[in-house]
Structures are given as C-alpha cells and as structure tokens.
Structure 1
Amino acid sequence: MGKNLEHQFSMLVREIRKEFVGNGPKEISTRFVGNWAISEMKGNLTNVEKFMINSEQGKQMVHEARTKMVKEIYKKPEVIEKFEALIGAKVLRLFSDINIEEDIAMTVFVFDESVDLKAK
C-alpha cells in the first residue's frame, strides 16, 4: 500500500499543479518520511519560462513567480483539504522551492502525524 499512497499523493500534486498553473510536471515522485511528504517534480517550466531564463533577470523573475505562486496555491483551504483527506492528517506547513537551471521543484508537506506509518 505504501507505494500506492505515494503514487496517489503524486497524482494529486500533479492535478493541483495542472489546475492552477496550467501544466503539471513531466515527472513526479513522492516519498514519506516521518510526518513529511516530499514531492520532487521534474519538467515544470513552460516554453515561455524556458525562454525567459536565458537572462539573469528572467531566471530571477521565473523563480520568484513560481515560488510565490505555489505557496499561494497551497494556502487555499479546498486544496489543503484534498491532501488531508487523502492522508488522514492535518497539513501544518509547507516548504517549496524550484531550481530553475535544472527544472526541478521540491515541495515538502509537514503533517501533524506520521504519514510513513499510514503508507505501510
């Protein structure tokens, strides 16, 4: 069941990203560690963003916009409720960042109880 719950979590992350960003990551994997769900996403940038990152100013703009936008998405109660319903625990906080050059994003969801035990 562990890999299945991680897969379901990854698919929910992709669904949320597609709904609010317009495209989801090409690859996504999630691992549960203690009360953390860690999602790694590859292939996040749009063609326009890939063009923009050819300059330092563009890199900075894309990084800032992506980071702020993702944090705003996860402030929405209807989004958080989907993750809490899937895991059966409350989301306490979230950390998110993207490496523009490598086109890899990481989001860490911190729950109020261990999620890796639920996945076993």
Structure 2
Amino acid sequence: MMRNGVPVALLALLIGCGTAQAEDGYPTYARVDYVLGCMLSNGQGPDVVRKCSCSIDEIAAHFPYDSYVAVETARGMQEAPGERAALMRDVGWIKDLLNEFRQAQVAADLKCF
C-alpha cells in the first residue's frame, strides 16, 4: 500500500522506531530517513529499498555517525538563503567533510546499485 508515493511500512518504521540504533551508532530513524531520500531519487519498490538500505549500511560501516550528523547539518546550513549560509559554503573543513561523505556515498552506490 502506498501513500503519497512512500510505502506505508517505511512510514510506520520511521514513526515507531524510537531511539533504536545499531552498533555503529546510526539510529534507525537516520537510516530510514536516508532510505526514503534515496528512494525519492531512485524510484520505489522492493529492489530499490534493498539497494538504498545497502547503501546506508555501507556508509555506516565506513563513515562515523557523528560525521554524518555534521554533513547533514552542513548541508542544511549551506542550502539556507542569506549571508550566513554563504559563509558556510566557503569553510574548508566543511568542504572536506562533504567531499569525504560524497566519496563514501559513491563507493556505497557502486557496491549496492
């Protein structure tokens, strides 16, 4: 059953996950959020769910959760309008972190897709 293009089972998992997290420190909600975003980019269906789940598992195996949170925060700040967001686009360590994450994501996608 689909609702607004998102499988209801994934929504139920996202809502009911609480603060569960794997040994690698990635909470379930972070994994589900990644998979939902991945599915929006790559389509829907069981095969895509498996590929997107594989991708976040690979990222989690090679990229610490604290760094993942920093990447998500930096992305949000960079996408915001205004001068403050512009300042965040030019910070060297943020560029390096985003580049490192992109490399982890590309490696995961090569393995999983």
TM range (shorter): 0.3 to 0.5
Q: TM-score, normalised by structure 2?
A: 0.33
Q: Which structure dedicates a bigger proportion of its chain to helix?
A: 2
Instruction: Give the structure, 1 or 2, with the largest relative contact order (CA under 8 Å, sep 6 or more).
Output: 1
How high is the TM-score relative to the length of structure 1? 0.31
